Structure 1
C-alpha cells in the first residue's frame, strides 16, 4: 500500500499507539534458541590520538555533534572486532579489555537475529499490519524514519542490542562480572528506559559505531546502577542542543526562505537527517519521547512495548551467551594495488542499521563520484562502481570518518555445533 506524502501526519503519541496495538501482547514470543555455534572473529586495537584516550573519529564526532559533552566524560573501547554472524552477515563491534570481552557484542547480534526471525514468521503480527488504515499508515509515514512496521520493530530490536553492547564498555565500573549478570543488571536497573528517555537516536547509533559512550554509572544500595547526575545533565544538554539546531534550520527554511515543511526537509536533507528530521517538527518546548517507551491503555490494561521486549531480549541473550564458542583469528590486510575485479564492487557495512545509515552511506559515496547500484539494509551489502582499488580505499576511509566500518571480506556463516 502506498500513502502519499500529503496524507502523512506527524504525531508521536499516535504513532506510538499504532505500534503498541500491533505489538501487543508482545513481540517475538516465538523466538527460538539457535544451535550452539563456534564463531571466529578478528580483533584490532583502537589507536587513540597522541595524548588522548579518543581516536580521531571519536574526537571529531565529539566536537561536532556532542556539545557540551567533554572528552573526560567519554569512555572509549580499547578494541574493535569483526566477525560473520550465523546468517552469514559481516559485523563489527567493540569491547574494553577491562570488561567482559567480545562475547557481549557477538551474543547480542545472535540475540537480535533470533528476535528478527521470530518477527518475520509471526503470522498474527503480519495480519494486524495488513489491517492498518490509511490514517494509521500516514501517521507512521509522517513520524518515523522507517515507515513499515516490520522495519520499525526490527530497528528497535537492534537498538536494544546496541544499548547492551555499548554499556558493556562500562562493565568494570558495575557490580556485574559475567555477561549474564550484566544483561540482567542492565534490565533490572532500567538502563534501557534511561536510553529511551535521555538519549537521542543519532547519538546512540553514531557513538556505538565509533566505540564510545558518554555515560558514567552510580551503584545503588540495592546493587543496581543508575546514570550519574552528571551523565543525566550532559545527555539532557546534548539533546536540547540537537533539538534547538533542528528548530533553527527549520525556522530559517520556513520563515526566511518561505519554504514548506516538506520542501525544507528536501532542501536541508543532510543537516536535518544527521540530527533527525523528527526533532525539527517538534512543537516548541516539546521534548521527544521514545515511541516504544510510551505507555498506553489498551483494552483496559496498561501496556508499553519497551519493557516487554527487553524482558524477552534479556532472557534470550542469557541463554545464547552460553551456547557460543568464540575463537580469535588473524585478519587479512586488504591490498590497495592491482586491478579491481567486477565482483569487488561489492562490500559490506556491518554497522548499517536504518534508513538514515543508507542515506548517509549513499551520500558519502555519491559525493565522491561513486555510483551506488545496490544497498541492502538486511544483508548490509553494498554494490558500487569504484574506479580503482585506490578509489575504493579512499571511499572506505570516508565511510570510516562517518562512523562506519566497511569490509570486503566474503561472508561465511558461523559454524553450528552438534548438540549432544
Structure 2
C-alpha cells in the first residue's frame, strides 16, 4: 500500500467527517464583559497612507497590487482578553471603532472553549485512522484536527475584523449588522476562495486590507471587479513563485520534495504546503470551503463555522463594553531583569508564526528558550534592554506586534450548559 501524500481534497474530507456531527458544545449564556484597551495612532510614512511595514510587504509580496488599492488602519489597540492573553488589533476612524477586534477575539475564545468542551468531537478525533492522520500531516501546516479547527475559527475572526476597516463604505452601522452583512454577502467564502492564507494573515497583522467593496441593490456588498482581478493576480504570482523555487530545488539541485521544502522553507513561507506541492495548472481550494457529500447531502465546514461565528459575535458585542485607558511606557534604559526575558506576541496565530518569530530572534543571535502558541508567550535570552527593543522593532517590521504586558489571572468562565445563540 502506498504512503498517503499531499492531498487537499482527502484532507478536507477528513475534517468534514469530524465536523459534520457538530463542532461545538453548547455555548454558555452570554454575560457582561468589560475590557480596557490602550490606543495609539498608526504613523504612516511621509506623503503616504501606508506605514513602513505595510509598504515593504506590499512591494515584496503583493505584486501587482498598488498602494492605492490598500486601505490602512488609523489606530492600533492593545488589550488583555478574558482568558488573560494580551492582544493587539486595528481599527479605522469613521468606522465601527475598537469594539470589533475586541469582540472578535472574545468570540474566538468562546468558540475555542466550545470546541474543546465537545467530548463527542474529541472521541471522533481519537479514532481518526492512521492513514487519515498521515494525509493531514502531509497536507496541512497544523496537523492535529483540533488545531486546524482552532486556526480556522481564528481566521474567520481575522476576516471579520480586517474587513471592518472598510465599514464606512458599507450600509452597515453596528458591529452585529456588519457581521451579518459580511455573512449574507458571502465575504467569508470570498476570503477562503480568492485570498491566500499568508496574504490574509500578514496584511491583518499590519492593519491593512487590499480590497474594495461595491454596494448592491439588495443591501449586500461585493468585491469590486478590480479587487477580484488583483486578488487573483496576487495568488497566481504566489503560486508561480512557489513552483519556481520547487522546480529549481528538485531539478537543478536534485533534491527530493521534502528536502526542498525543508531547505527553502523561508523562501516558500507558509505556502510551502499549500502551493508549492500543487500540480501545475491546479488552482488551490480552501479545505473548509470544499463541498462533500455527507449522509446524502452537501456539506462543507466553512458556512457552519461562519454562521456560528457571526451569531456568537453579535451576542458578544451586545454584552461587551470597551474602555480606553492610558498606556504604560517602558523604561528601556533600566537594567534587564529576569522577567524581561518574557514577552507576548498577540498576533502569533499558527505554527508558521512560531517559525518566523523564532527565525527573526535567532538571526539576531537571541536564543529562544520557549515559545507557546496558545498563550502567545515567548521566553528569549536578551543581552540588554537595547537588544530587546531592537528585537521588538525587527518583529514589528515583520508584521508582528510584541508587547510586554503580563496576562492577568484567567477569570472563571460559566459552564457550557445552556446556549445563548
In which range does the TM-score fall when normalised by the shorter chain?
over 0.9
Whole-Å Cα distance in 1 between the matches of residues 411 and 128 of structure 2?
Answer: 40
Whole-Å Cα distance in 2 between the matches of residues 402 and 344 of structure 1?
Answer: 21
Partner of 1:194: 190
Partner of 1:243: 239
- Map 1:215-234 → 2, pairs under 5 A: 215-234=211-230
1:87 to 74, 83, 87: 83
1:178 to 174, 179, 182: 174
Aligned Cα RMSD in Å?
A: 1.5
Partner of 1:278: 274
1:314 to 310, 315, 318: 310
Partner of 1:379: 375
- Map 1:120-199 → 2, pairs under 5 A: 120-199=116-195
The 1:7/1:407 distance shift into structure 2, 3 A limit, reads: farther
1:16 equivalent in alignment to 2:12: yes
Whole-Å Cα distance in 2 between the matches of residues 400 and 7 of structure 1?
Answer: 41
Whether the aligned pair in 2 keeps the contact of 1:33 and 1:320 (CA below 8 Å) is no
Whole-Å Cα distance in 1 between the matches of residues 39 and 55 of structure 2?
Answer: 22
- Map 1:326-365 → 2, pairs under 5 A: 326-365=322-361
Q: Which moved more, 1:264-273 or 1:408-417?
A: 408-417
Whole-Å Cα distance in 2 between the matches of residues 27 and 168 of structure 1?
Answer: 26
Whole-Å Cα distance in 2 between the matches of residues 414 and 129 of structure 1?
Answer: 27
Partner of 2:257: 261
Shift of 1:416: 8.9
Partner of 2:293: 297
Whole-Å Cα distance in 1 between the matches of residues 79 and 280 of structure 2?
Answer: 44
Whole-Å Cα distance in 1 between the matches of residues 27 and 71 of structure 2?
Answer: 33
Aligned partner of residue 92 in structure 1, secondary structure: strand
Shift of 1:415: 7.8
Partner of 1:100: 96
Whether the aligned pair in 2 keeps the contact of 1:22 and 1:125 (CA below 8 Å) is yes
Whole-Å Cα distance in 2 between the matches of residues 23 and 415 of structure 1?
Answer: 29
Shift of 1:35: 2.7
Aligned partner of residue 280 in structure 1, secondary structure: coil
Whole-Å Cα distance in 1 between the matches of residues 264 and 381 of structure 2?
Answer: 27
The 1:262/1:276 distance shift into structure 2, 3 A limit, reads: closer
Whether the aligned pair in 2 keeps the contact of 1:84 and 1:413 (CA below 8 Å) is no
The 1:190/1:268 distance shift into structure 2, 3 A limit, reads: same
Whether the aligned pair in 2 keeps the contact of 1:26 and 1:308 (CA below 8 Å) is no
2:110 to 114, 120, 133: 114
Shift of 1:221: 0.8
Whether the aligned pair in 2 keeps the contact of 1:202 and 1:276 (CA below 8 Å) is no
Calculate the TM-score normalised by the size of structure 2: 0.96
Whether the aligned pair in 2 keeps the contact of 1:66 and 1:238 (CA below 8 Å) is yes
The 1:38/1:283 distance shift into structure 2, 3 A limit, reads: same
2:23 to 18, 24, 27: 27
Partner of 1:72: 68
Calculate the TM-score normalised by the size of structure 1: 0.96
The 1:221/1:366 distance shift into structure 2, 3 A limit, reads: same
Whether the aligned pair in 1 keeps the contact of 2:140 and 2:273 (CA below 8 Å) is no
Whole-Å Cα distance in 1 between the matches of residues 179 and 268 of structure 2?
Answer: 34
The 1:33/1:353 distance shift into structure 2, 3 A limit, reads: farther
Whether the aligned pair in 2 keeps the contact of 1:37 and 1:416 (CA below 8 Å) is no
Q: Which runs of 5+ in 1 are unaligned?
A: 1-5
- Map 1:52-71 → 2, pairs under 5 A: 52-71=48-67
Aligned partner of residue 369 in structure 2, secondary structure: strand
Q: Which moved more, 1:382-391 or 1:406-415?
A: 406-415
Whole-Å Cα distance in 2 between the matches of residues 257 and 37 of structure 1?
Answer: 57
CA deviations over 1:354-410 (Å, ceiling 9, x no partner): 000000000000111111111110000000100010000000000001100000111
Aligned partner of residue 289 in structure 2, secondary structure: coil
Whole-Å Cα distance in 2 between the matches of residues 33 and 283 of structure 1?
Answer: 47
Whole-Å Cα distance in 2 between the matches of residues 101 and 303 of structure 1?
Answer: 35
Shift of 1:25: 3.0
The 1:285/1:385 distance shift into structure 2, 3 A limit, reads: same
Shift of 1:301: 1.3
The 1:81/1:20 distance shift into structure 2, 3 A limit, reads: same
Aligned partner of residue 359 in structure 2, secondary structure: helix
